[in-house]
Structure 1
Amino acid sequence: MSDNLTILAGPTAYRHIKENGLSPDDIDAMLGASGAAKWLGISGLDSAIFSQWFSGRTRALHLFGTSIGAWKFAAAAQANCKEAFDRLRHAYSHQHYKGSISAVQISRETRRIMDAFLTPQAIDEILNHPWIRIGFSAVRCKGFIGSHHGLVQAMGVGQAFALNAISRKLQRMCFERVLFHHPQYDTGILEENNFPTTTIPLDRTNFAKALLASGSIPMVMEGVTHIAGAPGGTYRDGGLIDYHPAFSLNPEQTGFILYPHFYTHLTPGWFDKKLTKRRLKGKAVDRTILLAPSPRFVSTLPFGRIPDRQDFVRLMGRDNERIQAWTKAADMCRILGDEFMEATQNGSIRNKVKKFE
C-alpha cells in the first residue's frame, strides 16, 4: 500500500472509518488552514476531493478557511473547480518581485493573483453554488495592530504576542473574528472556540475585499478597509487567531470534518507556532479527519520540504528557480489526491487510518 498520504482521525471518526470506510456524504464541513505557499504541497489533494470525490454531491457542505485556506475554497466553489485550482496554483507560484520588497508591492502582487482566478463570473458561481457554502474569516483589528504605520503596527504585533503567551483568550483585546459567509451558510454548524464571531453575508460588493483581507499578513501586506456591509476598521489575516482553524462540529451534527492539511498537527493561532502544548487533541478533534503528506513523501519534494513563504528570502533574486521548485512540488502532490481516491473507493482507508495522537 502506498504511504504518501497520512490519514488521522479523532476517536469517533476513527471508529466510523474502521467500521464503514468513508463516503462523501459523511462529511458535514471542511476546514482550510493558513500557510501561504504550503498549500502548493496539498493542492492536488484538494483538487481531487472537490472535482472527483464530491462529484454528484447535493447535500450542503460548509467550508471555513483562513488566508490561503480561504483562497483555495474560493477556487473549490467555482463551477469548474479543477480549472480554478490550476489557475490559483499557477498564479501563486509565478510571483515576481524586484528590488526592495514592500507591503505595497506584495499587496499589488496579491491582487494580481486574485484577478487571475477570481473573476466577477467566478464570484457569481461561488455565491450561487448548489451545495457548497463558503465561509472564511478575517480579523478586525483593535488598537495598535490596526495602524498603517509600520512602527505602531509592530508594537501591536508585539502586544498580541505577549497577551497570547498568557492566554489565547486575551487576544480578544487585539482582534475580533469576522466570518464572511455564503448567504445560506449555517453559522451555528461549528462550535465557538474562545472568540465570539461577527458574521457578515457575502455578496458581489464585498467578496473580493473580504477574501483579500483574510490573507493580509500584518507587517507584510497592507490592511484592508471599507469592506461593504462590515463594521469599519482595518482587517487583517484571519490566521492570526485561526492559523489552523480549530473548531468542533455542533453536537447536533452527525457527520465529520474533513481537513486536508500540510502537517499532521494543528496549531490554533499564528502566535501559537512554538507553543506545542496548544496543539489540538482529544475532544477538539473527535469528529475530525485530517489528511496530510507523509514525512516520506515530503522528503521527496524539492529541497526535501513543503514550499513555504521563506523561499522568497532563501531564493531572493532567483525567482525562476523558486517557480520551478514550486511547480514541481505542486505537480508531485497530485499523487496525494490519487491515493485518497483509491483508499476511499476500495475501502483500504479502513487499514490506512490512524488515531489522532
Structure 2
Amino acid sequence: MASPITIRLGARARRRIAQEGVQAADVAIVPAAAGGPKGLILHGIDTWLFGEWLANAPRERRLIGASIGAWRMAASVLADPVAAHKRLAHHYIHQTYPAKVDAAYITRHVRGMLDEALGGHGSEVLRHPLHRLSVITARGIGPLAQTRGVRWREMAGFLLAAAGNAVARARLARAMERVIFHDARDPGDWLRERFDAFDTRFAALSEENLRAALLASGSIPLLLEAVTDIPGAPAGTYWDGGLVDYHLHLPYRRDAGLVLYPHFNDHIVPGWLDKSMPWRRARDEALDNVVLVAPSPSFLASLPNRKMPDRGDFKHYGQDHAARIRDWTFAVGESERMAEVLARWVEKPDLQQTSDF
C-alpha cells in the first residue's frame, strides 16, 4: 500500500539522520505554514507530535507559524496540546456563514472561533516551560499604511503590492514588513540578521496582545478586517502573516538542531502571492537542516473531492454546511494515518523513502 506521507530532507538533515537516526531531542524548530483549512490535514501529526513524541523529549524549542499555522502552534504550547488541537479542529470545521456576509461579520466570527480554540487558556502560551511561540504578521507600509479601514484604499494598496510582487518578490517589501510577536524569553536571534528583502520587527508576546497577534496573523485582506495598533507593537495596520511568509521560508540553517516541518505541500512557497509562480519555490541552503513531512498524492486522492480541505470548499459546498463538515471531519480522521506512518518512520528511518529539496 502506498504511504500516506512524503518526506523531504535537507542535506545536513540527511547526513545527521544517516549517522544518528531521528531523535526527538534533536528537534529545535517546528514551523507551521499559512493555508487556512489546509492545516486541518496535519491534525493527526500535530496531536501525536506534541502529545507524545516531542513531549517525551523535553527541551527548549521554537514553534513559529503564520495564520492557521500560528493558531496550530499556539494550541501546541498550551498545557494540554491534544485537547487544544481537538478544540481548534472542531471549531474550524464547524464554522458556517450565511450566503452573503461582510468583512465585519467574518471578523467577529473568526474572533469567536479563536476564543473557543484557546478555551480560556491563552495565558498558558506565555508560561510553557520550554516551548517558545512566535507569531508572524504582515504590517502595511507605504500605501498600505494609509488604508484606515477604507475598503477601496485597501484594495488599491494590495493591487499595487501584487503588481510589484509579480515583477520581483523584493518589491513586495515596499508594501509590507514582517512583524514577529515572540515569547519574551526567546529574543529570536536567528531571525534578527536580515535574510531577505523584508524589514523584520519584533514585539514581545503578552497577555495584552496575544489574542490580537493571533487574529492579525490570520486576517486575510478584504475578507477580514485588518487589526490595528496592537499593544506593545509598532503602530499600524496588520494582516495575515502568510502574505510575506506563506510557507515560512526562513533561515533555518542558522540553528544547529533539526527543523521538523509538518506541511500540507511537499514544497515551500515564500509568499502567498507566489503560489502561481513555481519558479519561486524555495530550494536553497536555508533548508539544509529541514525534515519536511507532507501528505502523499495517493493519500490526497483518497479524500473527498480527491484533495485536502481548502478555502475553495466554502464556495464549492455553498450553504450545504453539513456536507462540508462531514467531508472535513473525514479528512481530519484520515490524518491519523499520516501520524501513524511518521511515528514508525522516526522509529526506524528509511532514507530510501525520502527525497531531497
The TM-score range, normalised by the shorter chain, is over 0.9
TM-score normalised by length of structure 1: 0.95
Identity of paired residues, percent? 36
Q: What CA distance in whole angstroms lies between the structure 2 residues aligned with 1:176 and 1:68?
A: 19
In the other structure, the counterpart of 1:158 is: 159
In the other structure, the counterpart of 2:308 is: 306
Map 1:163-174 to 2 at 5 A: 163-174=164-175
Map 1:2-17 to 2 at 5 A: 3-17=3-17
Q: What CA distance in whole angstroms lies between the structure 2 residues aligned with 1:243 and 1:309?
A: 15
Q: Which amino acid aligns with 1:268?
A: P
- Of 185, 201, 205, the residue aligned with 2:204 is 201
- Of 273, 277, 282, the residue aligned with 1:271 is 273
Q: For residues 30-85 of structure 1, what are the alpha-carbon distances to aligned partners after superposition, in whole Å with 9 as ceiling and x for unaligned?
A: 11100000011111111111111112333210121100000000100001100100
Deviation at 1:186, TM superposition (A): 3.7
Deviation at 1:218, TM superposition (A): 0.2
Map 1:1-357 to 2 at 5 A: 3-120=3-120, 122-146=121-145, 147=147, 148-190=149-191, 192-249=195-252, 251=254, 253-345=255-347, 347-356=348-357
Q: What CA distance in whole angstroms lies between the structure 1 residues aligned with 2:197 and 2:143?
A: 22
- Between 55-64 and 154-163, report the one with greater CA deviation: 55-64
Q: For residues 241-285 of structure 1, what are the alpha-carbon distances to aligned partners after superposition, in whole Å with 9 as ceiling and x for unaligned?
A: 10110012253x321211110011110001111111110113131
Q: What CA distance in whole angstroms lies between the structure 2 residues aligned with 1:173 and 1:351?
A: 43
Question: Is the CA contact 2:32–2:64 (under 8 Å) kept in the aligned structure 1?
Answer: yes
Structure 1: 4+ residue segments shifted above 6 A: none
Secondary structure of 1:337's match?
helix
Secondary structure of 1:53's match?
helix
Q: What CA distance in whole angstroms lies between the structure 1 residues aligned with 2:48 and 2:56?
A: 13
Question: Is the CA contact 1:19–1:350 (under 8 Å) kept in the aligned structure 2?
Answer: no
Secondary structure of 1:63's match?
strand
Q: What CA distance in whole angstroms lies between the structure 1 residues aligned with 2:353 and 2:82?
A: 26
Q: What CA distance in whole angstroms lies between the structure 2 residues aligned with 1:143 and 1:100?
A: 32
Question: Is the CA contact 2:270–2:281 (under 8 Å) kept in the aligned structure 1?
Answer: yes
Deviation at 1:151, TM superposition (A): 1.8
TM-score normalised by length of structure 2: 0.95
Q: What CA distance in whole angstroms lies between the structure 2 residues aligned with 1:42 and 1:235?
A: 26
Q: Provide the aligned length of Structure 1 versus Structure 2.
A: 353
Secondary structure of 1:134's match?
strand
Aligned-CA RMSD value: 1.5
Secondary structure of 1:85's match?
helix
Secondary structure of 2:228's match?
coil
Q: What CA distance in whole angstroms lies between the structure 2 residues aligned with 1:180 and 1:94?
A: 28
Q: Which runs of 5+ in 2 are unaligned?
A: none
Secondary structure of 2:95's match?
coil
Q: What CA distance in whole angstroms lies between the structure 2 residues aligned with 1:77 and 1:207?
A: 13
- Between 99-108 and 204-213, report the one with greater CA deviation: 99-108
Q: Which runs of 5+ in 1 are unaligned?
A: none
Q: What CA distance in whole angstroms lies between the structure 1 residues aligned with 2:352 and 2:130?
A: 31
